[in-house]
Amino acid sequence: MTRWQPDAPGRLAAAALDLFEENGYENTTVIEIAERAGLTKSTFFRHFPDKREVLFGRGTVAALLVEGIDSAPPTAGPLDTVADALDALGRTFFTADRREFSRRRQAVLNAHTELREREALKRIDLTAAMIEALNRRGVPILTARVAAKLGALAWEIAFDQWVSTDNKEDFGPLAQQALAEVRAAGPVPETQIVS
């Protein structure tokens, strides 16, 4: 009998990614993923409801963003709070040791419509989680929605740059730069408005 090994979800995600690259998403089964990870089918379903979810981290990113928002200084404004959360995400999740996995994962997602659709839904969930966390901090709901959506846009821009093969920068600074660009694209001064 083999010795128990920790991190079943991580092992399942790595096995799934390998198999999706080798055989294609459609041609890979849950049983194959579990076997490649050295686990059983029931262990797979203990962690994930289906094979699509194995690449989506079980809500980890949303939980980390909410934690970052919750731990931001009480005096931080809504966008500064989101900036703190994106920074924390870069330090704890989008780390250098996860970059190659994330690049490979994104390539698999890009190649399959069903996975791209799931990714889009997960991004909507991320935004909703940020809105709720900001609102709990006392940010009015409309302001929370705007800040969360701008934060989600900055996250998407930073992530796309971070997984780019020619990029070596850390996620946190990329997210801060993206958020600065989003802020700079804000309201147009009245002198530039053409009537």
pLDDT at 5: 60
pLDDT at 58: 67
pLDDT at 165: 80
Give the position of tokens 């801060």: 176
Sign (positive/negative) of CA torsion 53, 154, 161, 69?
negative
pLDDT at 19: 96
Kindly give the parts of the chain with pLDDT less than 70: 1-6, 58, 186-195
Q: Using alpha carbons, select from 44, 82, 45 the residue that is nearest to residue 64.
A: 82
pLDDT at 192: 41
pLDDT at 31: 96
Domains of the chain in start order, with CATH, are 8-51 (1.10.10.60), 56-181 (1.10.357.10)
Q: Using alpha carbons, select from 124, 134, 13, 121 the residue that is nearest to residue 66.
A: 134
Give the position of tokens 């409801």: 49
